[in-house]
Structure 1
Amino acid sequence: MAGVAGACSISAPSAARILPEEVVVWEILVRLPARELLRCRAACQSWRRLTSAADFLLAHHQHQPSLPLVSFSAKDRDEQGYFDKVVDAFDHRLVPAERRRPVLGFRDRRDGRVVLHASCHGLILLSVSTRRFQISNPATGQWASLPALVGAHVAGMYPSGEEYRILYWKQRFKGDSPVYHVLTVGSSEEPRCIGLPIASAPLNQLFLEGMNPSSSHPPVLLHSCLHSLQGRKRSSMVVFDTVGESFRPMRSPFFDDDWDPYLHEIDGTLRISCLNSVVLKIWVLLDYDKEVWSLRYHVKVPRVGRLYGSFDSSSSYTVVSEKGDMLLFLFNRMFHCDS
């Protein structure tokens, strides 16, 4: 047995040398889960250097599953203080004890309420009391302040080549028409003003009122466009072309006043989920160009969601799978409900 073990330990390095470094890095390491990749980074300086490059980190992120972020307030373990906000990623495919993956935690409450505005390729945009906007990469521990966003209403964040941009609007004085801007993260240039979009009557009124914030109903990036449900009842869909920086309307299903619609992207397809106190409905966009939607699923809401007959203003939900698994935030608790 010792001879066999010795033979294996001797042959392993020679076998590793057969594979070109490019294949090891761009075909194997780039597909590993984050935890296993961190272990491999400790194997040699070459792997650590190559896997620290920006192009590798972006490629690795694109190979990972897109997980929803959940945020809430919670006590810390020693009960000596509080996290004002805890941000976790949620993976419904794992066993219950491993589904929540810690991302960020904030212990200091004196600065005020922390708001999660957007996330893109592992970057997280957040603010404290609307006065301090910051962008964070939790994987590397890097932070950057974004003073240009003070007083802004963020509509979305998206990639543009190797850059990341933020769409937002501001009002100089209360009652003024909103002015829309695009900020390039990390650039020394001033944010680019794109003014007030010119649109048809329904959309024009929407832009005059100001687009809904991405913190409450995040937009979906697909085909280099940001898609978002807008309006007071989120009855209109607006598409922002991130290349041409133009807006257009898109057809969406009709929702009654008691529904709470959210937009999702699963497996490269747009989906809209609607929830009331009885049932969850999910529409799927069958044809993107012709804007054809199909009602695909009816999911009965679990009893915990019907205790008082309807949801209160603090309740919310997000769909985390194609078939309708969802996270339900109700009565200061989070429930995972399968379909």
Structure 2
Amino acid sequence: MSTLDLIDIQKSYGIVTAIEPLSLSVANGELVCLLGPSGSGKSTLLRMIGGFETPTAGKVLIDGVDVAFDPPEKRPTAMVFQSHALWQHMTVFENIAFGLKLRGFGKAEIKRKVEAGLSLVGLQDYGQRRPSQLSGGQRQRVAIARCIVLEPKILLMDEPFASLDQHLRDRLREEVRQIQKTLGITTIFVTHGQDEALSVADRIVVMSMGRIEQVGTPGDIYASPATPFVAGFIGDMNLIPVTVAHGRITMGGIELAAPVADGPAMLAVRPEDIAFAESDASTGGATVLRIVNYGSYFKVTVALESMEWKVQAPKSTRIPEGAVLPLSIGRYQLFRDEQVVFRSEPA
């Protein structure tokens, strides 16, 4: 069993607070993504887990043992960095073997472990090459193998694919997910890419300004964001200021149930939960401003009561720019004072 528990962990630099006190538990074999924009504190939190930053307060428990003030080499963790951090004067084999030598393994055991690591990342025939002879994706595979052969209890990954092109990123994250499942290793993965987090994580920790905004499965985070920040950061979301009156929201021909107190609120609707209805001059409608072809669907920008909305329309849709059409809304939710006050039932 390899579990991670952060208890009231905090990090300050003088009077500047980088991480507000937070707690998080990660189960054995779980892959958890720390997701947030630049400056949200996700990499600082990862570095405190790995020992590269010392917390101002709190505990870092790995299998129940507090390692908060142990140096990196004394922790049962290994980190894959964005920059690969390979030694250019060493071969691939020597790079992967370096940490094993420091730990006192014999030559035969080192050879066995390195070859197994190379096989796991699909580089069986690359042991005698130099890093300069490898592609970016291959260098990152070497960095992953170098960590895996140490058999850490916790694998840490700090935006490992950020420098790679989109196609290679997609392929490598699928490979890393498969390796992680095969080994059953508890993994913390930092990214600012929502697609990356949604595709690989068992759970996502959404961070902002050194705080945890929400923790949940990718499906829960996407379907039921807990705050306006999460709603706007994960996927496309229409965030529209509205006024609730007598338990209803009425605007531009749209009428929605809103069983909350009267007053201002924030309406949140995914583009895929909006559809164009049959034209009806009596109900008004939204004016089509722009249509962008995304291959499998159209992203349509419309104007409704001076607000722009995004609508995801099927490829069969035939709508000219400038058309005025009513909208129908399926699933939606309301925020007030940064909290969810109402979620509609799934359509």
TM-score (norm 2): 0.22
Structure holding more strand per residue: 1
Q: From the CA coordinates, give the structure whose radius of gyration is larger.
A: 2
TM-score (norm 1): 0.23
Structure holding more helix per residue: 2
